[in-house]
Amino acid sequence: MARHRPHLHSQLVAAAAKTEQGIVDTRVGRVLALLGDTTLVAKAAEQTSPNGPLAIESPDAAVVWDDPQVQERIAALAADGITVERREVEIDRGGMIFRKWVLTVAF
């Protein structure tokens, strides 16, 4: 019978938690990059309709939407009159329904 080794168990748990936090940090970074000034200006310049909101696809938005850094950036944009919302969009491709997350940015 295998002997229980609590030290090894705690090391494995700590390593898994560190990996999970790294994944979350990466996702937060991606969303913050999408909401960065440079990206928003570039997306606005590409937009074909100057009066409509920007729609920026972001699979990470659903996962990290409530992260304090993301919410802080959204609040900073709101202070400048820019609203950011996330919404789920359904796409029908060949009879199959796919869902994706989109950030809608209105200014």
Distance CA 55, CA 47 (A): 9
- With CA atoms as reference, report the closest residue to 39 among 52, 50, 29, 49: 29
Buried b (16+ CB within 10 A) or exposed e, 47-67: eeeeeebbebebebbebbbeb
CA 68 to chain centre: 12
Tens of pLDDT, residue by residue over 15-70, are 777 777 788 899 999 999 999 999 999 998 888 777 779 999 999 998 999 999 99
DSSP class of residue 85?
E
Tens of pLDDT, residue by residue over 72-105, are 999 999 999 999 999 999 999 999 999 999 999 9
The burial class, CB within 10 Å (0-12 / 13-18 / 19+), for 9 is exposed
